[in-house]
Amino acid sequence: MEYSDKKTQLLIASDQYLNRLGIKTLLSVVGVESDLKETNNLEELIDLLKNGKDPDYLILSDRILSYPQKKCLENLRKQCPTCKLMVIGGETMCRCDCEKFISYSCDQKEMLEQFQNFFLEPKSLAINVESSILSEREIEVLKAIALGLANKEIADRLYISIHTVISHRKNITSKLGIKSISGLTVYALLNSLIHADEVK
Amino acid sequence: MEYSDKKTQLLIASDQYLNRLGIKTLLSVVGVESDLKETNNLEELIDLLKNGKDPDYLILSDRILSYPQKKCLENLRKQCPTCKLMVIGGETMCRCDCEKFISYSCDQKEMLEQFQNFFLEPKSLAINVESSILSEREIEVLKAIALGLANKEIADRLYISIHTVISHRKNITSKLGIKSISGLTVYALLNSLIHADEVK
DNA sequence: TTATCAATCCCTATAATTAATGATTTTACA
DNA sequence: TGTAAAATCATTAATTATAGGGATTGATAA
């Protein structure tokens, strides 16, 4: 039921230009012809999805997703319920609600196969994933922990008592199941709560 | 003084296929014609430099460098003292001994300019940078800290007393000037001492 | 053959974090 | 309007980490 005079609509969202360029080259290798749009940030992506018509395919890097990634993806899904979604991510990217997940570490052969499959396979049903459970305040505290602040410093920064900080910490560790500061730091990094160069 | 029948030798080293593909596409956009080799890991890169003749240009991603990055780059330099070196890295990559440093976050325009300049500008002199100062044992302890282990656990793992661990820790923090666990974790991540998915 | 450095160990005292429990106030939602 | 969750503060005890000191051994380079 396709109109042969209507090209496939494809949208690429990745923060890195070299990545987008690689993806585009790969698309031409695979033989996908499309009306192609691209963006390097989440805001513009959301704008494009809101104001334009739904693309047929959306290829995005996990690095442009905001925290929490799962929630962010869910919201994107709502913006384009009919499109096929491919997420390219690092080893630690949570497997999420998308038709195709590809790791950045895939070699040429695998990457080619995955891309070919993506455009051949029928659209799958969305998988429901539960989203993040941290409250706003807990996220603030988590950020501060990951930045290397001590409880007292966090208390001063957020204008609360150190007891409250400790309470939040307890809730964070029990909710996430991550007990060590390093673990929390990595979590915060992976979820773009902080940037590596902010840490003291 | 170039032989017109001899193509430029160029070597691309990046862990990610999409990156290499993007770089190659960019090279053809810029109009660089070359004998091109590529690799996705450090070992193969070193092999290529040892066994083949020196390339004219070496483009590498900071992600394939082993710890410490500066030392690793110095060693690579010795392997190919005459080649022009471009390093593409993240925001937190240390500015290092190379002719051209490009951030992954550069947009199309800047990336194009930087690539064009790289192949036009004359080779600069190497900058001497001091290398890492951590001892082997200190690196072991740092790894363990970044993985989220407590002093006691580190002691058990390394078969030393907790006092020794504390001593090493003191030396590490004073050498690096990084006091917080999060800071040390980020340092370990950036220097590929650990991987994010190993952290507990 | 001295220095130097890495690696190991120890002590004391203070600071910081965690565990276990509990309580109050505000906010959001059904 | 009642309930649940979030955000706040608190106490006590136990555990861990940090900041100062030192000390010994073995390897290695000047």
H-run or E-run covering B43: helix B42-51
How distant, in Å, are the alpha carbons of A7, A8, A38, B96 from that of A57? 12, 8, 12, 40
Distance B197 CA to C7 C1' (A): 30
For chain B residues 149-168, those near strand D by a CB cutoff of 7 A are 150-152, 166-167
Q: List CB contacts (< 8 A) between B19 and chain A.
A: 18-19, 22
Same-domain pairing of A131 and A93: no
- As to burial, measured by CB atoms within 10 angstroms (0-12 exposed, 13-18 middle, 19+ buried), residue A55 is buried
| Percent helix, strand and coil across chain B, each to the nearest 5 | 50, 15, 40
Q: Cβ–Cβ of B91/A196 closer than 8 Å?
A: yes
Tens-place pLDDT, residues B48-101: 998 888 899 999 998 888 766 777 787 788 788 888 999 998 765 655 667 888
At A99 the pLDDT is 79
Domain boundary among A119, A142, A166: A119
Q: How many domains does chain B have?
A: 2
Tens-place pLDDT, residues A160-182: 999 999 999 999 999 889 999 99
Q: How far apart are CA B45 and CA B11, in angstroms?
A: 9
pTM over 0.75: no
Which residues does residue A13 pair with via DSSP β-bridges, in sequence order? A39, A60
Residue B46 is part of which domain span?
Answer: 8-119
Q: How far apart are CA B65 and CA B61, in angstroms?
A: 8
Contact positions of strand D to protein Cβ (< 7 A): 5-11, 16-23
Q: List CB contacts (< 8 A) between A22 and chain B.
A: 17-22, 25
Is the residue at B2 inside a domain?
no
At A98 the pLDDT is 73
For chain A residues 139-178, those near strand C by a CB cutoff of 7 A are 150-152, 166-167, 169-170, 173
Higher-pLDDT residue of A109 and B96 is A109
Is the residue at A162 inside a domain?
yes
Could you tell me if B150 and B119 are in contact, meaning their C-beta atoms sit under 8 angstroms apart? no
Tens-place pLDDT, residues A30-56: 999 999 999 999 989 999 998 888 899
The answer to whether some atom of strand C lies closer than 7 Å to the beta carbon of B136 is: yes
Q: Please, which pLDDT band fits residue B1 given cuts at 50, 70 and 90?
A: very low
Same-domain pairing of A130 and A115: no
Q: Is the pLDDT of residue B5 over 70?
A: no
Same-domain pairing of A33 and A115: yes
Q: How many CB pairs lie under 8 A apart between chains A and B?
A: 124
Mean pLDDT of A132-145: 89
Mean pLDDT of B136-142: 94
Domain boundary among B87, B119, B151: B119
Using the CA of B168, give the nucleotide whose C1' is nearest.
C7
**If DSSP codes are grouped into helix, strand and coil, which group holds residue A59?**
strand
Q: Is the pLDDT of residue A72 over 60?
A: yes
Phi, psi of A154 (to 5 degrees): -60, -45
Distance B194 CA to C6 C1' (A): 23
Q: Cβ–Cβ of B181/A178 closer than 8 Å?
A: no
Tens-place pLDDT, residues B148-200: 999 999 999 999 999 999 999 999 999 999 999 999 999 998 777 888 878 87
Nearest Cα to Cα of residue A140 among A155, A118, A152, A121 = A155
Mean pLDDT of A2-12: 74
Is the residue at A169 inside a domain?
yes
Nearest Cα to Cα of residue A199 among B150, B194, B92 = B92
Query: How far apart are the two ends of chain A, measured CA to CA in Å?
Result: 57
Nearest Cα to Cα of residue B98 among B55, B66, B129, B67 = B129
Is the residue at A69 inside a domain?
yes
Could you tell me if B59 and B9 are in contact, meaning their C-beta atoms sit under 8 angstroms apart? no
